[in-house]
A and B are shown apart, each in its own frame.
Chain A
């Protein structure tokens, strides 16, 4: 029997500072995963954290310093080693969203798993009818993947917004759902949403008003996770375990609990 708690040591190939307190690590490991899944990242002696895979098909993670493990992880850079197990969770329902225009709405670090899907999109552009990315950050310095935006804009629309602008910011100000209100929803669209739950709710509401069925909205939920295996018992929403059955859910299946 494979030990699902065993941690594999993996070398960091590259590390990129995305924003103050946010970093992306490229890991030296081939892993069989699909966009929307996550890994448990370990620093022995500090503990483990659930982190979304933020790339495809290479293995990258993007994380924000938020406590014990992520603070310690922030000390690690190119050449250092970290512990890993996974992948965990159900990927985005790629078959269901194939052929559609995918609308990706994200807030803060919630863009991490969305970026994995975007990279998948770029490799499989022909199997979708289009994509639009909506990304909201607290302020301009918190916009992630800045040096990739230009490349992305060649293939799909990118809409950015910040909660608080500074003197250099000329773009949108306000929450993501506000941006969406002005957006003309293409026919045959599906949404993938990841961010704080308040943002998920308002995005879902806005899309609903625009006529998108709730079963076409895929939302990613965050819970406290210790095992990733449906065992430690803390990530459940009623009988569903976010680590096993999620973290990606159809909004129509889960909205009454968010």
Chain B
């Protein structure tokens, strides 16, 4: 189906009144009320993971030995997710499938994708098999004057029902099939010499892991309001920090920077494959965009090929 930009805008303006509607506004995915706030032409610096896996989240509150758990689940739309971001949610869904906090939010969340037609600076999704992802409820592909739209799931059909009469037949299916045919490179090799060269530059700021759509590491902390009352929270944490692996007695398992960089790279390209059958890196390039030291995870794979559709 095809939907004109003005029709899509009208739909968003009305839908965003009723549900939590997150969309890219430039640097991040934020809750929007109007289509005008949305920026569909850039890649966000921050990923959308924080909507389902917040930087700080209450696990439960407690008073003396009594605990109370509240999980949040609100009807939510995440709109304008690029294929890498869809692929990242596919990974997060598998990773957090037994996590009640994540899944409660996720159950009521609809993912609306936005197909890329070319890569942004630093993207290498062609190497991670995420230039196209079918992990969406609905997908938009921009065309002259509007969007080709594929409304795939029941949840998305319900969401887009008010806009149905605004949709027209047609739309560039061919573009999508051309994109799908771009197969990813297989058998990527990790070049350890390149990782070695990162160690002298990196200063463990953790910007890379915080912008990454598939970094899931956290710490658990107790926060007290009064002596006997408080809450237990989980907060984002990073393998790039020394204290991440410190044990009682002071020993640190990944004390050297090289060990920590190795952890990040292998976590993304290798360990994830062994545990989940796929890489967790989706090639979004955000860790490269954000690194002050121009550390480029993609160079580790080192076989640049142009990608055009």
A residues neighboring B (CB under 8 Å)? 1-7, 9, 44-48, 66-67, 70, 81, 83, 222-224, 226-227, 229, 231-234, 236, 238-239
Contacts and interface: CB of A to CB of B under 8 A. Distances in A.
B98 A232 contact: no
Contacts of B230: 44-45
Nearest to B67: A7
B243 to A, nearest CB: 9
Nearest to A4: B98
Contacts of B228: 45
A138 B247 CA distance: 19
B82 to A, nearest CB: 25
Interface of B: 59-60, 62, 64-65, 67, 69, 95-96, 98-100, 103, 216-222, 224, 227-228, 230, 232, 234, 237, 239, 244-249, 253, 263, 266-267, 270-271, 274-275
A48 B244 CA distance: 15
B252 to A, nearest CB: 9
B99 A231 contact: yes
Q: Which of B65, B232, B237, B266 has the most CB of A within 10 A?
A: B65
Contacts of B246: 224
Contacts of B237: 232-234
Contacts of A233: 216-218, 237, 239
B274 A234 contact: no
A67 B271 CA distance: 31
Contacts of B65: 9, 44, 81, 83
A222 B237 CA distance: 20
A3 B59 CA distance: 10
Given A48-B220, A231-B218, A239-B275, 15 more contacts: A3-B100, A5-B59, A6-B67, A44-B65, A44-B67, A47-B221, A66-B249, A70-B248, A223-B245, A224-B246, A224-B247, A226-B219, A232-B234, A234-B245, A236-B267
A234 B244 contact: yes
A1 B219 contact: no
B278 to A, nearest CB: 13
A239 B67 CA distance: 34
Nearest to B226: A45
